[in-house]
Amino acid sequence: MALVEWSPDYSVQVQEFDLHHQKLIGYINELNDSMRQGKGKAQLPEILRKLVDYTGYHFEREEELMEAHHFQGLAAHKEEHRIFVEKIRSFQRDFSLGRVALSLEILHFLRDWLLHHILETDKEYGPFLKEKGVS
């Protein structure tokens, strides 16, 4: 069973980004599934690597579009992205050094951060970009 189900409540009114968010939620569910099968520790590095790659691409696209339309909240939004990437990198480091015992801690952080960021921060650009004709 999926840990997180995407629902229309998560829509940020930009189709491209809804698709990106679905893909990111997919990685979180993948991690949850591997943990339930007892393979969390073995598969965490690979899943985190995919997640870091894809968030890099996704954050860049969001920032590009906000910048192109002179969105006021760009700086604060970028800062949230930056802190997230840093946090994941430190998880990767700690995990590779054997300092993080529980993949569960990482899983819950990813889930909570992503849902909060989509619902509170990404949603702020929705109506603004829509008004600019982005769909």
* Footprint of Fe ion (CB under 5 A): 62, 122
How far is residue 135's CA from residue 123's CA, in Å, rounded to a whole number? 13
- Provide the 8-state DSSP code for 132: T
Complex with Fe ion: residue 35 or 110, whichever CB lies closer: 110
Are the CB atoms for 11 and 18 separated by under 8 Å? yes
How far is residue 8's CA from residue 11's CA, in Å, rounded to a whole number? 5
Complex with Fe ion: residue 76 or 102, whichever CB lies closer: 76
Tokens (6 digits) for 33? 């599934």
Complex with Fe ion: residue 97 or 135, whichever CB lies closer: 135
Q: How far is the CB of 59 from Fe ion (least distance, A)?
A: 6
How far is residue 71's CA from residue 74's CA, in Å, rounded to a whole number? 6
Q: How far is the CB of 87 from Fe ion (least distance, A)?
A: 14
Residue number of the CB closest to Fe ion reads 122
Q: How far is the CB of 80 from Fe ion (least distance, A)?
A: 7
Complex with Fe ion: residue 11 or 43, whichever CB lies closer: 11
